[in-house]
Structure 1
């Protein structure tokens, strides 16, 4: 953001669009008959959820609240179940 001179809201919108397009691609790939196990796909989707949860309501990295902590805990336990 600082390197490109973009405004914060523009940067947030750009990230939202990247996340949306990535989710569409992931869902399309999941519907295709790819040679990956269901567990692998599930773990991959959880990894992708991390930045979504971190930044969907502002800066979840710099300003951590209880909701963010609960999401991190949930996702981290799902990786190993």
Structure 2
């Protein structure tokens, strides 16, 4: 996946930075980034459940932005990828009826 991104002229990503900075293969770097994301979600959920100086509206907006980014990039590059998996998923969420 990284090679495809580099061919398109994308900038260096967190996975690549971690690979080069720590001398680890791509799979190990991906697992490390996934663990960072899990820890970040834990923090988001803690802040969602505790008192905050932000309004519930602001917290809801921030949480929805995080959810959107996670959904968009959870299986790789949901923006630059040519496999249309993310596009199909988004279109399904927005336009396909939910069976009851």
Band the TM-score falls in, shorter-chain normalisation:
0.5 to 0.7
After superposition, the C-alpha distances for 1:28-66 in whole angstroms (9 at most, x for unaligned) are: 111111121112111212222344223322332331554
Q: Which has the larger radius of gyration?
A: 2
Higher relative contact order (CA 8 A, sep 6+): 1
Q: How big is the alpha-carbon RMSD for the aligned residues of Structure 1 and Structure 2?
A: 2.6
- Going from structure 1 to structure 2, the CA distance change for 1:40 and 1:64 (only over 3 Å counts) comes to farther
- Going from structure 1 to structure 2, the CA distance change for 1:15 and 1:50 (only over 3 Å counts) comes to farther
Question: Which residue of structure 1 aligns with residue 98 of structure 2?
Answer: none
> What is the total number of aligned residue pairs between the two structures?
73
- Structure 1: stretches of 5+ with no match in the other structure: 75-81
The question of whether the paired residues in 1 share the 8 Å contact of 2:78 and 2:86 is answered with yes
* TM-score, with length taken from structure 2: 0.56
